Chain A
Amino acid sequence: MTSWWWLVLAVLLGVYAIAVLEEWTKTGRIAPTAPLRSGLALLGRESLVPRQPDRVLFELAPLVLLIAAVLSLAVLPLAPGLLFADLATGALFVNAALAYVMVAVVMAGWAPNAPFALIAGWRFAVGMRAQSLATSAVVDSQAPLWNVVAQPLGFGLFSLAAMAVAFLPPFDLPIAPSELAGGVFGEYTGARLVIVRLGRLVLVLSLATAVTVFYLGGWLGPVLPPWAWTSIKVLAVAATMLSAGRYLPRVTIDLMLAWAWKLGIPLALVNILWVGITLLLAKSG
């Protein structure tokens, strides 16, 4: 039971740290109190409902986003034994939970009865592509060699896909401020917007943790305690994901689809082949 409290605390701290990092990537300043102020300010604002919305979807979309992000994080270990649920199919569960991010975004696009949001929802539904074991075992298996070294191709593909799932720049198609004035979340204000932003932060935390667990050896590392290594790696991955898009123009939907189908899937197949070869070599060795 105690470890659950530690887990909740770790997640809350992680979300807060990522909010600080996001502010840093936007303004270039480290402002430790900025997320707290921003959250309080939003809670003090009116939470408006647009005209003729699909009220149920409008209210549910932020919650679905938050729940999907929390569920995907639940099976990712922060240290040995420190995770909400140690499932035998943890990696699959992460993908299953992340599929509901698409559901939440499409719901948020449809619900306000506004064209900008609707177009943004379509974009994500079209552009989202699927990416697909006990997660603790994945970390343990990296003791001799991290997967980022063994499978650099998989690492690159997974990281890019993670950025697209979290609609981080340059994949921020459903929330493009300049093209669709905020897109799917443009009609959310006040407390509802707090839930949206919290959900997105948890999503970024979850995906950064997934990259860490699957490719960067999770909690493995010398000297420091396991939780510290996990924290350092997760924050480094999150900072990279948040700031990478700063230097790139937003990708278009056709370019994203072209890359995903013509490049991403063939390269993922190559990666599978490579993993098979390395397994055979390891067994024969």
Chain B
Amino acid sequence: MTLSGARLGRPTWWRRLTGAASAKRLAGFVVPGREVALAKGIDLEAAGLRLVANPRHADVLVLVGEIPPGLSNAVALTYRQMPRPRAIFSVGAGPVTDLPSPDVSIAASQAEVEAGVAQLFALFRDAAWTSHEPHARHQADVQDHAHDTGGMGGHHDMGEMDMDHMAGGGFMSMVMMTRDLPRSADGLPMEWLDVPFGPLFPGLPGGLRLRLTLDGDTVVRATVQPGALGRGLEEAWLGPVDGFVDRFAAIDPLSPIAYRVLAEEALAAAGAAPPDASLHHRRVEMLERERAASHLNWLASFSFLLGDRWLVTAALALHGRIDPARDTSALRQVREDTRVLMGRVARSPLLVRRLYGMGRLDYEMRPDALSRLRVRLGELEQSLDQLLAAGDESTPVEVRGGPDTGTGEATLETPRGPATLSIEIANGQIMRAKLTSPSQRLVELIPAVAEGHELADALLGVASLDISPWEVDR
């Protein structure tokens, strides 16, 4: 039994004791993000892991789902930031470049996760320390991980900038030192920090990469840096019509059903047999269930950013009950608990005060973070009502074949807004597929909701948009 990230040293009784102590409750840093695990129906905390927001404080790097190639460098850097003893836990993830093989590898299901966490406990208890340098130390392991930047962004990037104008030796007056620095709104020359946030920053969706220029605690410039995921999916969409739905549905792990249905609708519009009424009925039910789960997933992340631990717990508890609630009585109970949650949110003056005016957009209704929260809670209620009206029956969405030749376009209301897919088919091959997703529009709003605000408010504004980076980076 060996741990790839074991700490080097003879396993004395004291060291064994520290290993056994850590094995009781391991801390995990989730990649690409907790929201992906939740969307896959995996509750890591219920399985016994304690989730942390900083890899420096993590024992286990948890990889959930296929890690996109564009993220592999950030993931490897994140791993290097973790102090030994450390482990890699793969939950339905394939190999990641520049990262050692996982210590425990399982399929993405809750039962397997619980068994996997038990294996991790045993590994830390028995193999946290090793007398010998592991034979095949991986490249990521060899480098001095104490000196690396992280995938979260943020570390050390200010070092050079700080030193540039301080260097030169000899006394330099404050007037001289700040002569060429940009002026803040108050006219004072300040130190500006150019700080990367993401693609694995705990307060933002995994895969979203921002660069914020900070004047003190105020964001003066927010730039989205696309391409963090780098999957090359759009090319993979082209090819045989058979299997297109599966290939296309892989775009967004946060709402796979919506994109599956969108692909089917586009195929139908291109000439496939029209869906029968019962199939349509089931699809609507699945979509509403996914929408409800997606909104609760967002609410949990949003509440975490807010620091409202009660709301995080409440949202997670409801999220965990949406999928198993297949009969009317269970759904009715979820609906009732949702009503209680909404009442609590509406009655919390501090929460309302915190969100009012944050991330406001200069549109007709001047929507802000509070209005977005209310809209999503309203949609959550509507989705549960529709599920209740649908009754007990529930079956997976069926995948159908497509036409040999034709063009088609379909628009579907995903949890984040309307998405449109247009396809062109010739000789049984998808020749062209163009997707317009809601997050593409939402990403463009980031500078508007972030610039000119304090860092906390800027992050809140961005999180309130409910962006899925997976829809943008294909």
Contacts and interface: CB of A to CB of B under 8 A. Distances in A.
Given A37-B24, A41-B22, A114 B17 contact: no
Contacts of A188: 56
A151 interface: no
Interface string A28-46: 0000001011111101111
Nearest to B154: A116
Contact of B84 (A46, A172, A180): A46
A interface, size bucket: 35 or more
A266 interface: no
Interface in B301-357: 304-310, 350-351, 353-354
Contacts of A116: 154-155, 195
Contacts of B193: 115, 118-119
B220 interface: no
A250 B158 contact: no
B350 A248 contact: yes
A253 B24 contact: no
Nearest to A44: B18
A44 B307 contact: no
Contacts, number: 165
A218 to B, nearest CB: 31
Contacts of A52: 156, 159
A253 to B, nearest CB: 6
B279 interface: no
Contacts of B159: 51-52, 113
Contacts of B162: 113
A180 B54 CA distance: 9
A122 B459 CA distance: 18
B155 A179 contact: no
B96 interface: no
A187 B202 contact: no
Given A115-B195, A252-B354, A50 B155 contact: yes
B455 A46 contact: no
Contacts of A26: 309
B56 A253 contact: no
Contacts of A48: 56, 83, 145-146
A210 B56 CA distance: 33
A285 interface: no
Nearest to A51: B147
A254 B357 CA distance: 14
A43 B7 CA distance: 12
Interface string A103-121: 0000000000111101100
A178 B162 CA distance: 25
Contacts of B85: 44-45
B18 A246 contact: no
B392 interface: no
Contacts of A182: 53-54, 56-57
B25 interface: yes
Specify which of A36, A44, A169, A177 lies most central, judged by the most chain B CB atoms within 10 Å of its CB.
A44
Interface string B196-215: 00000111000000000010
A199 interface: no
29 contacts: A37-B21, A37-B22, A41-B22, A44-B18, A44-B22, A44-B85, A45-B22, A45-B59, A46-B83, A48-B145, A50-B147, A50-B155, A119-B193, A119-B455, A122-B217, A126-B217, A170-B350, A177-B52, A178-B202, A178-B459, A186-B57, A189-B56, A189-B83, A250-B306, A250-B307, A250-B456, A252-B354, A253-B454, A254-B454
Interface of B: 7, 15, 17-19, 21-22, 24-25, 52-54, 56-57, 59, 83-85, 128-129, 145-148, 152, 154-159, 162, 193, 195, 201-203, 214, 216-217, 304-310, 350-351, 353-354, 454-457, 459
Interface of A: 26, 34, 36-41, 43-52, 113-116, 118-119, 122-123, 126, 169-170, 172, 176-182, 186-190, 193, 245-255
